[in-house]
Structure 1
Amino acid sequence: MTAFIIGQMTIHSRDWMEEYFSKIPDVVARHKGKFTVRGGEPERMEGDNPVPDAAFIIEFPDRDHAKSFWNSDEFQSLAVLRRSGSMLNSILVDALE
């Protein structure tokens, strides 16, 4: 069943972004994932939580592929870089099928 990683990011510094965003699409693709949403300027529709600076949705064939991506050494190295200038909230969910 198709699975999605959905994330909301608050950015504190932009020093990490060029390297991270130049590498992350290839890492996602190697795990059979693809970005369906990747961008900034989210707009509040409802709720009181702070609006993130950026949001993304990555589609994978299934949870195993998503977890393989998330736990991979390649991604975890990039995650360390990302954490140097941002905070991420993310969840893993299944598609309706």
Structure 2
Amino acid sequence: MSVFLIADIKVTDEAWVPEYATKVHEIVHRHGGKYLSRSGNVATVEGDALDTSLVALLQFPTRKALDEFAADPDYAPYAKARQAGSVSRFHVIDDTDLAGTIPYLPKA
């Protein structure tokens, strides 16, 4: 079952961004993941706007693959730099339909 990582990030110190942006996608790919978007073009359509610099949407083939990426020792220094230079909120969702009424999505 695919899972999606939604990373909502407010950059507070841009020093970490260039190296993170050029290196982390290689680690993501090594764990079967891929970026679907990594954008600073964030617009709020409904509700209160978040103080967000960028949102990244990543897809992994399984939750295990995502967890292995997050625990990868090669990722650790990049995660530490991001955490020191941002306020980050990471959310994981799967590809199911909670209501079970969309025929092309697995029922939750």
TM-score calculated relative to the size of structure 2: 0.83
1:1-97 equivalence runs, <5 A? 1-96=1-96, 97=106
RMSD of aligned C-alpha atoms? 1.2
**Residue-pair matches, total:** 97
Deviations 1:50-94 (A, max 9, x none): 241100111011111011111211222211111221111011111
Deviations 1:26-62 (A, max 9, x none): 0100001000011102001111252411001110111
- Bigger Rg, structure 1 or 2: 2
Where 2:39 maps in the other structure, the secondary structure is strand
Where 1:45 maps in the other structure, the secondary structure is coil
List alignment gaps of at least 5 residues for structure 1. none
Higher relative contact order (CA 8 A, sep 6+): 1
Where 1:18 maps in the other structure, the secondary structure is helix
Paired residue type of 1:89: R
My pick for the range that moved more, 73-82 or 56-65, is: 73-82
Paired residue type of 2:5: I
Aligned-residue identity in percent: 27
Tell me, yes or no, if the aligned pair for 1:44 and 1:51 is still in contact at 8 Å. Answer: no
* CA–CA distance in structure 1, aligned partners of residues 51 and 95 of structure 2: 24
